[in-house]
Amino acid sequence: MIRVGVVGLGKMGLSHLSMFNAHPEVEVAGICDSAGYMLGVLNKYTGLKTYADMDAMLDDAELDAVVISTPSSMHASMVRTALERGVNVFCEKPFCLDPADSAALTALAEEKGLVTQVGYHYRFVGAFAEVKRLLDLGAIGRVTHVLAEAYGPVVLKPQGSTWRSKKALGGGSLYDYAAHPLNLVNWYLGEAARAGGSVLNPVFSRETDDEVFSTLFFDPATPGGTPVTAQLSVNWSDESQRKMTTKVSVWGTEGRISADRQEVQVFLRDGAQVPDGYVPGWNVKYTTELTEEVWFYLRGEEYSAQVDTFITRVIKGETEGVNNFAHAAATDRAIQLMVDDASGVTRVPTTSALAAPAGRTRSGGSLPGAVRARVRSLLQKVGSSR
């Protein structure tokens, strides 16, 4: 049995508690939250051992793994604490609000050989997974463009905001909503090279974004080729939607794929490499026929599937797997590209971009001595933070 502790008992924390507690290979050895009332109720009706402090739980409960479902701003410090204790970690998304933390924690987990996973559950939805499979098969030829969308009714009035809509605590719709379709885009295309035309707009929130629009550019598969683009369109102040609705459309030289939570629609041109089970022209596959049965259903089979994947990896000691820290860190870096683009920040070039002779830019222009010194200083700071 895998001994698991759950930290943070809000909406997702309670959902994870239900699923982990129902898993046949798991013993929930402790639950942790700052709300004494919540701990008292759960202890009374479940008998689970409760803790008001994560360190105390780690000291006492002899955990194999911990689930961290606290507000986003708390992820980095809590994940580090668990890793330093040698505990495997499942962390809710987004991984970290600062990509420097994501990189450092990824390296720490790899150094200690620990199993990690971040809760980007859409990778476990049958329709979105089928998109990945078809792209890997080259079914629509060379991918040229992706449109990733997410809309829903989260923030619909100026008052009554929660930690999710506070920039310093949750990161707004960019981190809490846009991160989901963005993570799918990373899964399909790899890591973005840059962002352009990024807009982070408030609708009702006073201090963060409620809608996000951006174009991401991905390096071409062959040198000199055309970059692949992906447009992100997200709004969590859209009351025309009953709940979060996510859709991804992918265009290629031999066809098109569109997928949402319910189905994947595929159009294949004549001459395309048609996979088994498909025909030229239009095809529709439903999530129900693309999804393996799970042992426990709560909110959607994808949530149980990701829990089972994590537990199976912990049992086997598999550090590589879907949504490990390295995958989530790539999404954090893509988010930072959009934040920088929207605010007009230009990141310091990589060392390869400054590999020209001293005092010369790659295009041959001259850099003043003061600018060269400033660049060297910034590069030293970047290097020391890695």
Q: Which residues pair with 282 in a beta bridge?
A: 267
The answer as to whether 338 is a domain residue is no
The answer as to whether 337 is a domain residue is no
Instruction: Please indicate, yes or no, whether residues 284 and 364 belong to a single structural domain of this protein.
Output: no
The answer as to whether 340 is a domain residue is no
The pLDDT value given to residue 31: 97
Instruction: Please indicate, yes or no, whether residues 248 and 365 belong to a single structural domain of this protein.
Output: no
Instruction: Please indicate, yes or no, whether residues 82 and 52 belong to a single structural domain of this protein.
Output: yes
* Residue 163 pLDDT level (bands cut at 50, 70, 90): low
Instruction: Please indicate, yes or no, whether residues 114 and 223 belong to a single structural domain of this protein.
Output: no
Taking the C-alpha atoms of residue 129 and residue 145, their distance in angstroms, rounded to an integer, is 18
The answer as to whether 233 is a domain residue is yes
DSSP assigned state of 86: T
* Residue 214 pLDDT level (bands cut at 50, 70, 90): very high
The answer as to whether 191 is a domain residue is yes
* Residue 381 pLDDT level (bands cut at 50, 70, 90): very low
Assess whether pLDDT exceeds 60 at residue 198.
yes
Taking the C-alpha atoms of residue 64 and residue 317, their distance in angstroms, rounded to an integer, is 11
The pLDDT value given to residue 162: 65
Indicate the number of domains in the chain. 3
CATH assignment at residue 217:
3.30.360.10
The pLDDT value given to residue 42: 95
Assess whether pLDDT exceeds 50 at residue 207.
yes
The answer as to whether 342 is a domain residue is no
Exposed/middle/buried for 146, CB within 10 Å: 0-12, 13-18, 19+? Answer: buried
The pLDDT value given to residue 380: 47
The pLDDT value given to residue 24: 96
Taking the C-alpha atoms of residue 289 and residue 301, their distance in angstroms, rounded to an integer, is 13
Could you give the strand order of the β-sheet that contains 245-252, starting from the edge strand earlier in sequence?
A: 194-201, 211-218, 228-235, 143-151, 245-252, 255-260, 263-268, 281-286
More confident residue, 231 or 382: 231
Instruction: Please indicate, yes or no, whether residues 270 and 211 belong to a single structural domain of this protein.
Output: yes
CB 139 within 8 A of CB 266: yes
Instruction: Please indicate, yes or no, whether residues 108 and 143 belong to a single structural domain of this protein.
Output: no
The answer as to whether 129 is a domain residue is yes
| Closest among 86, 83, 90, 79 to 116, alpha carbons compared | 90
Q: Is the peptide bond before 94 cis (omega within 30 degrees of 0)?
A: yes
Assess whether pLDDT exceeds 70 at residue 50.
yes
The pLDDT value given to residue 165: 59
The pLDDT value given to residue 152: 95
pLDDT digits (tens, 9 = 90+) for 59-68: 999 999 999 9
Instruction: Please indicate, yes or no, whether residues 243 and 232 belong to a single structural domain of this protein.
Output: yes
The pLDDT value given to residue 280: 97
Considering only 22-31, 199-208, 330-339, 351-360, which range has the smallest mean pLDDT? 351-360
The pTM of the full predicted model, rounded to 2 decimals, is: 0.86
Pairing type for strands 245-252 and 143-151 reads antiparallel
What share of the chain in percent tops pLDDT 70? 86
Task: List the domain range (segments joined by +) for residue 84.
Answer: 2-121+297-332
More confident residue, 350 or 321: 321
Instruction: Please indicate, yes or no, whether residues 207 and 235 belong to a single structural domain of this protein.
Output: yes
Instruction: Please indicate, yes or no, whether residues 114 and 200 belong to a single structural domain of this protein.
Output: no
The pLDDT value given to residue 268: 98
pLDDT digits (tens, 9 = 90+) for 104-144: 999 999 999 999 999 999 999 999 999 999 999 999 999 99
The answer as to whether 341 is a domain residue is no
The pLDDT value given to residue 366: 36
The pLDDT value given to residue 161: 60
Instruction: Please indicate, yes or no, whether residues 131 and 257 belong to a single structural domain of this protein.
Output: yes
pLDDT digits (tens, 9 = 90+) for 272-315: 999 999 999 999 999 999 998 898 988 889 999 999 999 999 99
Instruction: Please indicate, yes or no, whether residues 218 and 91 belong to a single structural domain of this protein.
Output: no
What share of the chain in percent tops pLDDT 90? 78
The pLDDT value given to residue 151: 97
The pLDDT value given to residue 171: 75
Taking the C-alpha atoms of residue 304 and residue 88, their distance in angstroms, rounded to an integer, is 18
The pLDDT value given to residue 226: 85
Q: In whole numbers, what is the pLDDT of the chain averaged over residues? A: 88
Assess whether pLDDT exceeds 60 at residue 357.
no
